[in-house]
Structure 1
Amino acid sequence: MYYLYVRVVKAKDLPTNPPTGNYNPYVEVKLGNYKGKTQHFENKTNPVWNQVFTFSKEKIHSSVVEVSVRDRAMVTKDDYLGRVVFDMNKVPTLAPLDSPLAPQWYRIRIIKEKAR
């Protein structure tokens, strides 16, 4: 059985939120109908999650993986800070399966809309 592993390591230099200080960031990894969330951190601009999400290849019915950085709001809906989208056809396959991939930084695309 094959799996897709998504490791969320950290974010750096997240913007500050002028009215309240810093954001309360967390990451949401979405693949079709499946999604996972990291823990959120209070008032952090350089959070470290180091969390792995595992998706079974048999249950993957999507051509993209969306990784969103969001701000946890206490009263209103959570806000999007930005996201990056990966095409499943361009995700590398490990051979042998236990060989590691080198970590890589990805820039999020800033989103100015409220969470849906």
Structure 2
Amino acid sequence: MEIKTAVTALSALAHEGRLNAFRLLVRAGQDGLASGELARRLGVPANTLSGSLNILSHAGLVESRRAGKSVIYTAGYANMTELLQFLMEDCCAGASDICAPLIEIALACDCDDKDKIDA
């Protein structure tokens, strides 16, 4: 991942409402959520959510698809993984104890559902 792409993604996440929307979509998995349901769960007006999803989409962190009259949003798992890899590339500087807690978190993750990690 290029640094400009990482900065765009991190900038998109650097807002409470956008971060909450992204995290909710990550938890929703590949099924995603309809925009109305997403707005309801977040307790935000549809127009506010639309702006947030647009910014996340331009950063490659959110994807959308039509399902009848609804627009379904999902997390952009491939770009999320790239961003996490970018952030971890230079981790530890040779001191494995720095990143060890992150490995434990990843191993404890309930990632048995392959749909959540395949993108």
TM-score, with normalisation over the residues of structure 2? 0.25
Query: Which protein, 1 or 2, shows the higher relative CO under an 8 Å CA cutoff with sep ≥ 6?
Result: 2
TM-score norm. by structure 1 comes to 0.26
Higher helix share: 2
Higher relative strand content: 1
